[in-house]
Amino acid sequence: MRCLLIFLLCLFFAAPATAQETPTPEDIARERIAEAAASGATELDLSWLGLTELPYEIGNLTNLKSLRLENNQLKSLPPEIGNLTHLQSLGLGGNQLNNLPQEVGNLIALHTLYVGDTKLSALPPEIGNLTNLQILNLISNKLISLPPEIGNLTNLKELDLSYNELISLPPEIGNLTDLKSLELWENQLSSLPPEIGNLTNLQELGLSDNQLIGVPPEISNLTNLKSLGLGANQLISLPPEISNLTNLQSLGLGHNQFGNVPPEIWNFRNLQSLGLSDNQLISVPPEIGNLTNLQQLSLSDNQLISVPPEIGNLTNLQQLNLSNNQLISLPSEIGNLTNLQELYLSDNQLSSLPPEIGNLKQLCYLSISDNQVRHLPIEMGHLSELTATMCGIYSSGFWLNNNPVISPPPEIVNQGTAAILDYLNHQAEWHVRQMVSQIAGGVGVLAIGVLALRWRHKRRKDKKKRA
């Protein structure tokens, strides 16, 4: 009993010592800060430590140029952060910051500021002091507005405000004339200020997943724009002036309310990617054939009943999505798309495929599921890439489920793509083999029948002799 009591006392007094030996995240941070101060380091990584507060000693590292604080549990920053006047890069993403201290405005040497995936609901006016800032990332916060001082950041080249709750942009946004990339995805913008047209160096503009009902004509000034995302808004038309954006290479207009393809896009001869999925289109005009540089075209989830023959002009096309429409046929000119790799035709009313589809020798993904196709053209036997392992970065494949296919017969279809292509390549031979097999089977049955009759006849004769 006495030994047990001594043992328990030892545990009791040893436990606090053990607890003290385990450093807290703040202890680890202080140790790294002290080491950086002693060595004169210009970079410090305090990310992924589980910090709930940043030690005030951070303000002693006045020579620091890069500070990483991502993925902690910080709810605020100490005012001493403002002492780091030589700091050029600051990473604060993945914390729980509700605000930034006004002292952040002292960091006048900052080139890059990342504050994504936090809980910021507002920016301090002092943000406008960071006039050397070139990259500002505020993705996935709770911002509902921007301070007018944002317009002071005239050296800014990249600004990402996606996944916030912005309902408007200040006119001062037009001061950011060096901006090359502006991302505003997933906000609540219903309009854009005309000053957006001042951003003449802009190359990428992302406005998808907002509540835009129109686009200001001043957007036509952005003649260096290469990528414009306007998907998932409430657009029914585009301003005529937008046709000036002749350098556009990517245009996203999907998930809007277009009843017709906006005619302004026919001027975009450099366009490589065009998204018009999930609108209310009932036809595609022949001018689609003007966009000869297109590599990706999505017209899925509309009400199309046909595709114009001019689609055959798009000889650089690599991906074509026509699924979820009401197509009853395809033009033979589809066979001109010899660079096509992916063709999506599912959920239509196709009863057949044109033989010219066999010209698409690069095709490695084809979906015709949920149609009314009964016969596959024998020319499809040439599409050997459908059996490849990969189609770009995705798996290759041929999908024709939920069709009343009778040729190839079900026993071939059930064996997969390779068997289907082999059947189409040797269809005549396969039918001859089937006929021979059936004839042979018939002859065999007949021979068995004859032998059976002869055996029965012989038995009767033997019975009569014994009688």
- Residue 355, number of CB atoms within 10 A of its CB: 13
Question: Which position has the token pair 């010209």?
Answer: 359
**Residue 464, pLDDT score:** 52
pLDDT in tens, 340-375: 999 999 999 999 999 999 999 999 999 999 999 999
Longest dimension (CA), the chain: 128
Question: Which position has the token pair 């005239």?
Answer: 154
pLDDT in tens, 204-240: 999 999 999 999 999 999 999 999 999 999 999 999 9
- Residue 2, number of CB atoms within 10 A of its CB: 6
Query: Rounded to two decimals, what is the model's pTM?
Result: 0.86
Q: At residue 436, does pLDDT exceed 60?
A: no
Q: At residue 6, does pLDDT exceed 60?
A: no
Answer whether 173's CB lies under 8 Å from 150's CB: yes
Answer whether 201's CB lies under 8 Å from 224's CB: yes
Measured distance CA(265)–CA(251) in Å, rounded: 9
How large a percentage of the chain has pLDDT more than 90?
Answer: 85
Answer whether 249's CB lies under 8 Å from 225's CB: no
- Strand 66-68 and strand 158-160: the pairing is unpaired
The torsion angle over the Cα atoms of residues 446, 450, 452 and 458, rounded to 10 degrees, is 180
Q: Provide the pLDDT confidence category of residue 454 given band limits of 50, 70 and 90.
A: low
How large a percentage of the chain has pLDDT more than 70?
Answer: 87
**Nearest partner of 108 among 135, 137, 78, 128, judged by Cα:** 128
Which ranges constitute the DSSP H helices of 376-426?
410-413, 417-425
Q: Which CA distances in Å does 134 have to 131, 262, 335, 337? A: 8, 35, 48, 43
**Residue 458, pLDDT score:** 58
pLDDT in tens, 304-329: 999 999 999 999 999 999 999 999 99
Mean pLDDT of the chain, nearest integer: 91
Q: At residue 419, does pLDDT exceed 70?
A: yes
pLDDT in tens, 136-175: 999 999 999 999 999 999 999 999 999 999 999 999 999 9
- For the record, the structure tokens of 220 come out as 């036509």
Q: At residue 429, does pLDDT exceed 90?
A: no
Q: At residue 462, does pLDDT exceed 70?
A: no
Region of 32 please: left (phi>0), alpha (psi -120 to 50) or beta. alpha
**Residue 272, pLDDT score:** 98
Answer whether 251's CB lies under 8 Å from 274's CB: yes
pLDDT in tens, 278-309: 999 999 999 999 999 999 999 999 999 999 99
**Nearest partner of 341 among 394, 391, 274, 271, judged by Cα:** 391
Q: At residue 465, does pLDDT exceed 70?
A: no
**Residue 3, pLDDT score:** 47
The H or E element containing residue 451 is helix 427-466
pLDDT in tens, 43-88: 999 999 999 999 999 999 999 999 999 999 999 999 999 999 999 9
Rounded CA Rg of the chain? 35
Task: Name the 3-class secondary structure at 271.
Answer: coil
**Residue 163, pLDDT score:** 98
Assess if CATH 3.80.10.10 describes domain 281-452.
yes
Which residue would you say has higher pLDDT here, 461 or 56? 56
| Amino acid letter, residue 333 | E
Answer whether 177's CB lies under 8 Å from 200's CB: yes
